Amino acid sequence: MTASNLSAISTDPIWVESGEQLNTLCEQWQQQGAVAIDTEFMRTSTFYPIAALFQVSDGHGCYLIDPLKIEDFSGFKALLVNESVVKVLHACSEDLEVFKTFLGVLPSPLFDTQWAAACAGYDFSMGYARLADTLLSVEVAKSETRSDWLQRPLSESQLRYAALDVAYLLVVYALLLKKLKEQDRLSWVQTECAQQVASAAVTPDFSVAYKKVKTAWKLSSRQLAVLQALANWREIAARERDVPRNRLAKDGALWDIARTQPDALGELTRIEGLAPRTIRGDGDTLLALIESTLNQPAEQDPPRLPEPLARSTTDFVKALKQAARQVAEDIEVPPEVLLRKKDIEDLVRSGLAGDYQLPERLLGWRRNIVGEQLLALAKQWPA
């Protein structure tokens, strides 16, 4: 389907609320080369997203699938994992979590139109509405983004919004697919999308959750051991109780506990960012965690985390960034497609540790485009 076929697309929402109806539709969609999919969900007071709606467009109609009513999703799950049908979504990291949580499967093969647009030379992280306007000159309203998607019945405005979210997505996909093939960049998108799915499928390692606390590098190994135990506890408890992490304790609170190592409930009350309900319900558990960690052999403590790069590396980092920006400009893509700030930091750190090595993300298709150039520049930089 191309942009010239827009008038053939019906944007009238088609409500689907029975498993039998959904399975019949999925049998039809299994015969297509691609389907467009989106989700609506709620996540205001839970750890896991609550699926409120699935939208599918087959290029002819917009189908709104009700997960609050349907029990049999076998046909839909089979569609999601059918390797002969491309699943087209836009900026889908949270959608992947909805699929994993609610259905236990992930869409594959995946084509993320936000990432594809960036690889094709459009702005990085473009929203769907702006992308549709840029490519198709059509307006997709975003007025219902934060509305209550669990209410029933949905309002006419919600139904219209949900349908438009997928109505033109296959047309966008076709245009981007054509451009990416012409640019010989389709493999970039396929690789990144496959990695998105693979990453979403991995069970998180709670034992390394402490490393995500921004100022963890300031702590000693013994303090880090406490932070590790606390962060591990929070990850497990948040999932078991289905509540947001911050409802139990904010990152800063965990860091402060690890630093001060309180041994009484009264001391916990002075920790900013630690919810009173957590102190009441989990205070004794936290104190026991601290005590048991402090009693463990020191050799079990995690090593200190690396400090932020020293100011002496500032010019070096700037030179690497500028080289990457120049490559991005030359091939007309946003710099973020090629690398992140962390990639440059990892490259610099590898040299400080003794031998410059490309980080994993700069291997694969990025290696010949930008990786080898940055590696060569790094090796030439004065020690």
- Which residues touch 339 (CB under 8 Å, ≥6 apart)? 324, 361, 362, 366, 370, 374
Q: Which amino acid is at 173?
A: Y
d(CA 312, CA 316): 8
38 has catalytic annotation: yes
What one-character-per-residue DSSP string does 304-370 give? Answer: PPPPPPPGGGHHHHHHHHHHHHHHHHHHTS-HHHH--HHHHHHHHHHHHTTS----GGGSTHHIIII
112 has catalytic annotation: no
Buried b (16+ CB within 10 A) or exposed e, 218-242: ebeebbbbbbbbbbbbbbebbeeee
Catalytic residue among 58, 112, 144, 165, which?
165
Q: Is the dihedral of CA 188, 190, 196, 202 positive or negative?
A: negative
165 has catalytic annotation: yes
58 has catalytic annotation: no
Catalytic residue among 40, 112, 144, 251, which?
40
d(CA 132, CA 378): 40
Catalytic residue among 63, 161, 168, 356, which?
161
Catalytic residue among 58, 95, 112, 251, which?
95
- Which single residue is written with the structure tokens 């002496």? 312
40 has catalytic annotation: yes
The separation between CA 73 and the C-alpha centre of its own chain, rounded to angstroms, equals: 24
Catalytic residue among 38, 144, 192, 256, which?
38
Assign 1 to helix, strand or coil. coil
Assign 100 to helix, strand or coil. helix
213 DSSP 8-state letter: S
The structure tokens listed for 199 are 């990453």
Partners of 37 in the β-ladder: 56
> Are 32 and 80 spatial neighbours (Cβ–Cβ below 8 Å)?
no
> Are 52 and 68 spatial neighbours (Cβ–Cβ below 8 Å)?
yes
Q: Give me the active site residues, please.
A: 38, 40, 95, 161, 165
